[in-house]
Amino acid sequence: MNQAKLGKTDMLNLFKKMLLVRAFEEKAGELFQQNLIPGFIHLSIGQEASSVGTCSVIRPNDYVASTHRGHGHMIAKGADPKRMFAEILGKSTGYCKGKGGSMHIADFSLGFLGANGVVGGGFPIAVGAGLSIKLRRTDQIAIVFFGDGAANRGTFHEALNMAAIWKLPVIFVCENNQYASTTSISYSLAGGSIAGRACAYGIPGYTANGNDVLEVREIVGRAVLRARSGEGPSIVENKTYRYRGHFEGDPQKYRSPQEIDGFKKEQDPIAVFEIRLKTAKVLTDSAAKKMRKDVAQIIEDAVHYAREAPLPQPEDAMEDLFVNP
Amino acid sequence: MIKIVIPKLGLTMESAKLLRWAFFTGSRVAEGETILIIETDKVTYEVPAPASGIIHPIAPQGTICAVEEVVGYIAEDREEYDRIVAQQPGMTPEEKPAEEIPERFSPPPRDVRLKASPLARAMAQEHGLDLRIIQGTGPAGRIVRPDILAALEKKAKMAAKRIERLNASTDKEIRESIPITGVRKIIFDNMYASLSQSAQLTLHTEACAEALVDLRQRLSGKDQKISYNAILVKTVAAALRLHPRMNTSVVDGAITVWKQIHIGLAMEGNDALIVPVVRHPDSKGIAEIERELAELVLKVRENRLSPDDLVNGTFTITNLGFGDIDYFTPIIRPPESAILGVGRIVAKPVIKGETVVPQQRLGLSLTFDHRITHGAPAARFLKSIKDLIEEPLLLIR
Amino acid sequence: MTERLLSCSEAFAEALHEEMKRDDTVFIIGEDLRAHDGIFGQFKGLPSKYPERVIDTPISETCLVGAGLGAALTGMRPLVDLHFADFFTTAMDEIANQAAKIRYMFGGQARIPLVIWAPDGGGLSAAAHHSQCLEAWFVHTPGLKVVAPSEPADVKGLIKSAIREDNPVIFFQHKKLFAQKGPVPKEEYLIPLGKGDIKRKGRDITIITYSRMTYFALEAAKQLALKGIEVEVIDIRTLKPLDFEMIAESVKKTYHALVVHEACLTGGFGAEIAARIGEELFDDLDAPVTRIGAKDVPIPFSPLLENYVLPQVSDIVRGIKKVLNLG
């Protein structure tokens, strides 16, 4: 699947999905401010091109292992915003019946193996999914999203090595938003490139402009093709930027407001794509307006559903530990 | 010479510990004065002197004595005292009473932490043992299971001894032990269930039996003698027709009034109470009832009753007239709700007009379940029976 | 049932042969499995019979345990060989944070048919990094089942059940018991998780133990039987779920309990058992529940030191005498 084959409808769907991710995240931030979301949440505003672009080139039965910043990945994989909001509001009709919350949300029916509260926790799981695919001889693939911080964990290297020696259909998709929590890659990343680490394992390491959804599509698409044809894993490093703090409420003393504004003005993935679509006459102003209105309605409905959804019973806490006790 | 014995302070008390004597041997005591402090598993008790005199304790302090055991004596005078001391030397010097006797005895403080294993505590509580009188043999003197077992054994021995003593005085020996099994067990349980699970009340009355005696003679022919029981079965059946509410059972929590009348007649057979049932006596003639009864009696005697002969009764008659009984309180046979006890027919003086005349009389006792029937309807039912006995002509109504 | 004498290794291998034949989603993953059919011979005949399903990994315990989890989540039924239980430390996140929690935190969406198998225990002068008994860490983590059998027959019946479980199971086997022989039924059988086994009946005291200490407890029981003390030995076999019913029934009969394990005493699983006996059977106890475990130091190398640290039969005999107040 490459850009050349992308029709008008596909383009508009990509755009709409990015709008949906952003609207979801902005609403989540709003609800958090209103103290309607217990705990804490990590938002991916600014990274929509990476999540939507990546998930647009994989199949429904492919696996995705996600991160603590996983709302976008899950929506891009096709999750229902209603049940997502219900989950992060701690309701019984949420994806995980209120047991997981924002950081541990999953939909196994979508092959979405879960957000993960442990940075770098997804790598070995994705390798296992890849191994399972190989043993079962299907043509599925597994994607593991990770941030720049996770690239410094041991699991990253063990997983790359293992996936490479067995040529597993696993794609390591890095969302390099330049900060591991509060720590800049300029300080923490030896060698300066995450994709560059691929050469040590003899596998391709691609770098993409993570704010360009079409470029993300194209490059991840290449890795997908390679994985599906049994040639093994790749790293794709989507260089991107998050607009919000590591978590909502992060004072963000590690970066300047100017830096954030710069990205917002010049590289916003949605704005960039919108201009491109309009220039190509794929999208009109009024269509864009209507699309934003539709998306806002979807989110409004989802929030309404989640707020009305029943709370779990306290005793429900004792369920779901074991298949059989 | 007056004996000082351990008093029985409660129904379950079997023994007590002698905590302290209040007097040395040879001391003078006044009647009612505290002479001894004992402790049971429930209380501490001051034993008063049974009489005034000179005291001579014989049981040492700290020992456990059975109820009614003699623990000392009170002599009337010095002479008697010397005689007692010669016969019962009493305590050795180290067991003499404590030096200082407080004005009022106070029991040892209860908050002294006793060391006992949880199991020992549970066992002691279950058996009503006072842990304070048990010597622990576990680590650091902890009372453990073997100590409790030893104490229980001691207690059992003491109780056995007491029973032995009691037996010795009454000379009671077992002649025979009859196991409660089989039919006896069923009767055992049924009778208990009857009295424990219903509210039974018995009414007594007396009927003039002249007509009854006369009827029996007239009905009896050469071939067939008619029994009082046959007539009574018929009579009661007729009365039940008039009072269907007496023909009831409690079934599944509801009062069930039976359509059919089946009357059981209590008989003695093979050392057990057997109640064969005459079915539909209300629609049978007396002669027919007599034949059936005779057959049932024979079956009882030959032990060949079938279960069908015994089930589905709705009312029972029991006749103890043969034993010269006038009145008694029969016990209902569950699930029935009433039973008629029939006494003897005997001539009694009866006032007729201004004179006393002899008349054959018959005692009747009706037990009924007060949960189901009130006194008034039951009395009316018994009255109907009485009327029918006194005027059998009414039977053909 | 006909029985033969098999070693724990042989019984284990036989179970694996049966399960891999029965279900082709069962596979084995770990380090150094193929060259010698497992370092304890526990996979005898399997690498050649199932070349694709006995997978050697690089020395990457973190990833191989995590990969087992990932495979279990996506339709396979892996048995992860951790080489030595001591290496659990290197995969603790994958076990405690991921495998144990994924089903629960995702609201029951996942099934996790994963066995993590690890040889544990001392007595081989393998010293601090190859001798530990770490079961307490895992019983302390909700979401894991924990098995530690002793006899070959139990090893076979329990590993078969563990493989068929849809929940993560940590399966310990004591290194000193691989060569231990015992009767094993010839016919196929399963032993359910969560059922203990009374290895010796007795009326005076209950020993609650598992793994290698079962044999030590039986030896102590034999010695004391000569003196008329009848020791009941319960091999719990599965630590979680625990067959507390069996323990309770026994203690209610003997009134005395001694818990024995090879793991170090403080914070060991014995503390859990002792606490539960104290809580639930208080009134049945004629003496305090007592524990025997290793001394609270890492396992030293020199045999003399190691023997001093690990519980011995004589320690168990002493423990029994202490509980029974026999001086």
- Residue B172 has a pLDDT of 66
The long-range contacts involving C56-60, CB below 8 angstroms and separated by at least 24 positions, are: C56/C30, C56/C31, C56/C32, C57/A162, C57/C29, C57/C30, C57/C31, C58/A158, C58/A161, C58/A162, C58/A165, C58/C31, C59/C31, C60/A158, C60/A161, C60/A162
**Range A3-310: architecture per CATH:** 3-Layer(aba) Sandwich (3.40)
Q: Is the confidence at residue B369, as pLDDT, over 70?
A: yes
Tell whether B260 and B391 lie within a shared domain.
Answer: yes
Tell whether B154 and B231 lie within a shared domain.
Answer: no
The overall average pLDDT reported for chain B is 85
Closest CA to B119 of C277, C255, C125, C41: C255
* Dihedral (CA of A195, A198, A199, A202) sign: negative
Cβ separation C73–A129 shorter than 8 A: yes
Q: Which residues of C are catalytic?
A: 61, 130
Dist. CA B294–CA B10, nearest whole Å: 56
Residue B106 lies in a domain: no
Cβ separation C104–A321 shorter than 8 A: yes
Dist. CA C94–CA C66, nearest whole Å: 5
Tell whether B82 and B16 lie within a shared domain.
Answer: yes
Dist. CA C244–CA C260, nearest whole Å: 15
Closest alpha carbon within chain C to B123: C283
Residue B101 lies in a domain: no
- Residue C169 has a pLDDT of 98
Three-class SS of residue B317? strand
Task: Check: CB of residue C179 under 8 Å from CB of residue C173.
Answer: no
Tell whether B89 and B131 lie within a shared domain.
Answer: no
Q: Which helix (H) or strand (E) holds A156?
A: helix A154-165
Across B353-359, average pLDDT: 91
Across B358-362, average pLDDT: 93
Tell whether B75 and B197 lie within a shared domain.
Answer: no
- Residue B93 has a pLDDT of 44
Instruction: Give backbone dihedrals phi and psi of B159, rounded to 5 degrees, phi first.
Output: -65, -40
Q: Which helix (H) or strand (E) holds B387?
A: helix B375-390
Across A58-85, average pLDDT: 97
Question: For residue C150, what are its two tokens?
Answer: 């002793």
Closest alpha carbon within chain C to A141: C74
Q: Is the confidence at residue B32, as pLDDT, over 90?
A: no
Task: Check: CB of residue A121 under 8 Å from CB of residue C98.
Answer: yes
Most confident of the ranges B8-12, C272-276, C322-326: C272-276
Residue B108 lies in a domain: no
Judge whether B144 is closer than 8 Å to chain C, CB to CB.
yes
Tell whether B193 and B309 lie within a shared domain.
Answer: yes
Closest alpha carbon within chain C to B144: C286
- Residue A177 has a pLDDT of 96
Residue B391 lies in a domain: yes
pLDDT tens digit sequence for B49-95? 888 899 988 888 888 888 888 899 999 888 888 888 888 776 544 44
Reported ipTM: 0.94
- Residue B171 has a pLDDT of 63
Predicted TM-score (pTM) of this structure: 0.69
Tell whether B263 and B378 lie within a shared domain.
Answer: yes
Give the gap in angstroms from C-alpha A108 to the nearest C-alpha of chain C. 7
Across B327-334, average pLDDT: 92
Domains in chain C, please, with CATH? Answer: 3-185 (3.40.50.970), 197-323 (3.40.50.920)
Residues 6+ apart with CB under 8 A from C179: C7, C8, C9
Dist. CA C165–CA B326, nearest whole Å: 80
Cβ separation C255–B145 shorter than 8 A: yes
In angstroms and rounded to an integer, the radius of gyration of the C-alpha atoms of chain C is 19
For chain A, domain boundaries: 3-310
Domain span at residue B16 reads 2-95
Judge whether C243 is closer than 8 Å to chain A, CB to CB.
no
- What is the CATH number for B56? 2.40.50.100
- Residue B90 has a pLDDT of 66
Residue B113 lies in a domain: no
Provide DSSP, A82-116. HHHHHHHTT-TTSTTTTSS-GGG--BGGGTB----
- What is the CATH number for B348? 3.30.559.10
- Residue B48 has a pLDDT of 87
Dist. CA C134–CA C143, nearest whole Å: 16
Across B312-318, average pLDDT: 93
Residue B345 lies in a domain: yes
pLDDT tens digit sequence for C237-256? 999 999 999 999 999 999 99
Closest CA to C104 of B363, B121, A101: A101
Which residues from B are below 8 Å from C285, CB to CB?
A: 117-119
Cβ separation A158–C63 shorter than 8 A: yes
Judge whether B121 is closer than 8 Å to chain C, CB to CB.
yes
- Residue B257 has a pLDDT of 92
The overall average pLDDT reported for chain A is 96
Closest CA to C155 of C128, C131, C175: C175
Three-class SS of residue C287? coil
Residue B175 lies in a domain: no
Question: For residue C107, what are its two tokens?
Answer: 């609201």
Strand order in the sheet with B200-208: B200-208, B355-369, B338-352, B315-319, B262-265, B277-279
Most confident of the ranges A285-289, B158-162, B369-373: A285-289
Tell whether B72 and B144 lie within a shared domain.
Answer: no
Cis peptide before C183 (omega within 30 of 0): no
Q: Is the confidence at residue B101, as pLDDT, over 60?
A: no
Q: How would residue A41 be classed by pLDDT, with cut points 50, 70 and 90?
A: very high
- Residue B9 has a pLDDT of 77
Q: Is the confidence at residue C107, as pLDDT, over 80?
A: yes
Q: How would residue B103 be classed by pLDDT, with cut points 50, 70 and 90?
A: very low
Q: Is the confidence at residue A31, as pLDDT, over 50?
A: yes
Q: How would residue B112 be classed by pLDDT, with cut points 50, 70 and 90?
A: low
Q: Is the confidence at residue C49, as pLDDT, over 80?
A: yes
DSSP state of B293: H
Q: Is the confidence at residue A238, as pLDDT, over 90?
A: yes
Q: How would residue B37 be classed by pLDDT, with cut points 50, 70 and 90?
A: confident
- Residue B91 has a pLDDT of 59
* Window C:255-274, CB contacts with B under 8 Å: 255
Give the gap in angstroms from C-alpha C307 to the nearest C-alpha of chain B. 29
Number of domains in chain B: 3
Q: Is the confidence at residue B159, as pLDDT, over 60?
A: yes
Dist. CA C310–CA C123, nearest whole Å: 8
Provide DSSP, B265-291. E-EEETTEEE--EEE-GGGS-HHHHHH
* Dihedral (CA of B327, B331, B337, B339) sign: negative
